[in-house]
Amino acid sequence: MRVLWAPWRLAYIEKAPAAPACIFCDKPARDEAARRNEFVLQVSDQVSIMMNLYPYANGHVMVAPRTHTADFARLPADTAAALQAALQQVVAALEAEFSPHGFNIGMNLGRTAGAGFAEHLHWHVVPRWEGDTNFMPLLAETRVIPQHLEETYRRLLPYFEES
């Protein structure tokens, strides 16, 4: 049996609090300086957009409703519309700044489906390039990220700041 090491996961495991807080509720509620330190790109009444601190690829962004819910079937129509608009905004920003060849966009409903924060709906937007690691990060927890998260955040933030 081959073993693939993913030492970056240890940072995630060690940082996880004993009773994990909901990042999709806590981070958007912080002041602007704290949100910037946590790589939150945008907060509105209905939606928050933030970088994934443990990205599968450069520019991995998460979009979540502000309401704490895991119930996708009962998501209010206006919230669903706001989430769709936010996903389109994220894709447009990533296309403009990084020119990816494609995207993986989706969510995992429930812990069994792979949700790290199963109690709060959220979508992942993962830019993809020809010749990247394909599904290695998703299946084998192995990743290659060519750019520091702070640099990616700095480049994306202007697309989400109010003009």
- The residues assigned a catalytic role are 122
- CB-based burial label for 121 (10 Å; 0-12, 13-18, 19+): buried
Cβ–Cβ < 8 Å for 48, 42: yes
CA dihedral 13, 34, 153, 130 (to 10 degrees): 30
**Beta strands across the sheet bearing 40-43:** 40-43, 47-51, 61-65, 123-128, 102-106
Which residue, 147, 50, 57, is CA-closest to 101?
57
User: Which DSSP helix (H) or strand (E) runs through 34?
Assistant: helix 32-37
